[in-house]
Chains A and B, each alone.
Chain A
Amino acid sequence: AQSVTQPDIHITVSEGASLELRCNYSYGATPYLFWYVQSPGQGLQLLLKYFSGDTLVQGIKGFEAEFKRSQSSFNLRKPSVHWSDAAEYFCAVGDNAGGTSYGKLTFGQGTILTVHP
């Protein structure tokens, strides 16, 4: 079964600092990978996705993520964090192998980002 691990429950950075949120996945084939962001009391917004091709994926709001197959990782990065980036971030892997789980997303536990002024 697929799984996603986000090792950091909570990260605090200063505004303007760089950011990296870690995501490790377990999946038997080439995964579909996603990063979503959730503000308190709201739904999830898609930041970026990886299906195939270039392993460095650009997303919205200045975020990017790099797929590293050898490390089973899909870490999210941003060179300079803004106060408005404070939210919870979820990494997810999508099942594309068929069967009863086809098309489902499995989410990590989430990483809460706090931004200090």
Chain B
Amino acid sequence: GAVVSQHPSRVICKSGTSVKIECRSLDFQATTMFWYRQFPKQSLMLMATSNEGSKATYEQGVEKDKFLINHASLTLSTLTVTSAHPEDSSFYICSARVGRVNQPQHFGDGTRLSIL
């Protein structure tokens, strides 16, 4: 149980392109989803917290207009990297949590984004 599917697993695109990444909770309803960014050989950095039906809460230093997050249902959140540039290349990971904060986050397999 508690499976989170993230798609696509890898994307390569040209600079200036917008890229959408999907995060789905397959067997549970996720009231809260999180988006992380991970640089090579580093830990996960939280980008934003997304609650179903409400606006995402972004961490300090994360551009809201650059990284658009939509959490339209209890099983789906999307991250759109708008007008992507090479510096946006990274590993993006989503997680989903059921209900209360003492429940663990369940992670997707991540998306490797490469901007040429």
Scan residues 67-93 of chain B and give those whose CB is less than 8 A from a CB of chain A. 91, 93
Within 8 Å by CB of A90, from B44, B109, B112, lies B44
Is B53 interfacial (CB 8 A cutoff)? no
Asked whether any CB of chain B lies closer than 8 Å to the CB of A41, the reply is yes
A46 within 8 A of B: yes
A1 vs B48: C-alpha distance when bound (angstroms): 17
Residue-wise, chain A 11-48 has the 8 Å CB interface mask toward B (1 for contact) of 00000000000000000000010101000011111100
| Chain A interface, >50% SS class | loop
Interface with B: A63-71, A73-81, A106-114, which one?
Answer: A106-114
Q: Is the CB of A36 within 8 A of B42?
A: no
A104-B49, A105-B46, A107-B43 as given contacts; A46 in contact with B106, CB under 8 Å: yes
Given known contacts A103-B49, A103-B101, A105-B46, A43 and B32 CB-to-CB distance under 8 angstroms: no
Residues of B contacting A: mostly:
strand
Contacts of B49 in A (CB 8 A): 103-104
Contact at A107–B102, with CB atoms within 8 Å?
A: no
A contact residues around B32 at 8 Å (CB)? 103
Minimum CB distance partner of A32 in chain B: B102
Whether A96 is near chain B, meaning CB under 8 Å from some CB there, is yes
The 3 closest A-B pairs by CB, nearest first: A103-B101, A43-B107, A44-B107
